[in-house]
Amino acid sequence: MAKSSFKLEHPLERRQAEAARIREKYPDRIPVIVEKAERSDIPDIDKKKYLVPADLTVGQFVYVVRKRIKLSAEKAIFIFVKNILPPTAAMMSAIYEEHKDEDGFLYLFEDAHFPFAKLALHTCFLFLCLKTILITVGSCSFRYKPPLLDFAGLPYPSSTHFPFVPRIHRRQITASSSSSSAAPMACVPNSSMTLLFVEMGVGYDQHGQDVTSAAMRACKNAISSNSIPAFRRGSIPGVSFEQMKLQIKLGVPRPLHHALDLEKVKSVFPYGRISNVEVVDGGLICSSGVEVEEMGDKNDDCYIVNAAVYVGY
């Protein structure tokens, strides 16, 4: 959990008295403390204490914070409460009643980065597990607005429950296919190549209009390490660079499968023969907290895609 400098600077008794005075004088307002998360590169905020109208939504308050720190439209900002990312549609009054501190204040932390790695590891959207190798065993994707996610573990308890899908839905394309239409199901990786290592990546489209862009970014992120060039240097005895094979597994929210252009995704890779691409239910549709019409936004959706690139020969 993030540490509050406001708490360190003011003793508990003083904070309790101030919060009680505020609530008594302004019963329709909520005392909120906004601080920058540790190691965040977001601009410093010059005002920590806010009296927030109880009928304001989280998304509306995020907009207030953005204006306060003069954050440009193309940059994202995330507001956390007790390591939880609240839905933008939630009322600040509801968040306050559930998460207010013992001193009577609601503590929020702002950050410019979304902890994708923890999200992918700890939620039911897409699990990336280690067995002998990294494999995707993830389940289904959900439209992320009703629940609260606790990054310390499982989805935060809520009155809203999502149905789990007991099987993995796949969409597969082979290297010989000329289109991205569905083919007979084949798992990635499979026995058609000798597996050497796996590259993992996450990509997102903050403006929620192009899941293909998110998938391409995920693949670029996956191959940005220095493992693959070992082929070119001849570091693998008896295996040449020309013998490299790639198999790709993408975790994509199920409602977006139809919009994914696999040929564009494959164009990201400048090397290796792509023998198989598999799309499974995974990734995430969440809220970016801001809608920029000038950039083509139709809503505040953010698309997130996970990629696993299996490299072998």
pLDDT digits (tens, 9 = 90+) for 66-111: 778 777 655 667 778 877 777 777 888 888 998 899 999 999 887 7
Residue 3: what pLDDT? Answer: 74
More confident residue, 42 or 242: 242
Could you identify the residue written with the tokens 């009054």?
A: 93
Contact 119, 202 (CB under 8 A): no
| Mean pLDDT of the region 168-195 | 53
CA distance 81 to 37: 11
Q: What fold does the segment set 5-111 form as a domain?
A: Ubiquitin-like (UB roll) (3.10.20)
C-alpha separations of 130 from 134, 270, 305 in Å: 5, 27, 19
CA distance 280 to 306: 10
| Mean pLDDT of the region 159-170 | 37
User: DSSP assignment, residue 43?
Assistant: P
Q: Is the pLDDT of residue 151 over 90?
A: no
Q: How confident is the model at residue 116 (pLDDT cuts 50, 70, 90)?
A: very low
For residue 118, with 0-12 CB atoms within 10 Å meaning exposed, 13-18 middle and 19 or more buried, which class applies? middle
Q: How confident is the model at residue 64 (pLDDT cuts 50, 70, 90)?
A: confident
pTM across the whole model: 0.45
The length of the chain is 313
CA distance 127 to 144: 16
CA distance 77 to 69: 11
CATH architecture of 116-312: 2-Layer Sandwich (3.30)
**What is the overall mean pLDDT for the chain?**
71
Contact 96, 30 (CB under 8 A): yes
Domain ranges of the chain: 5-111, 116-312
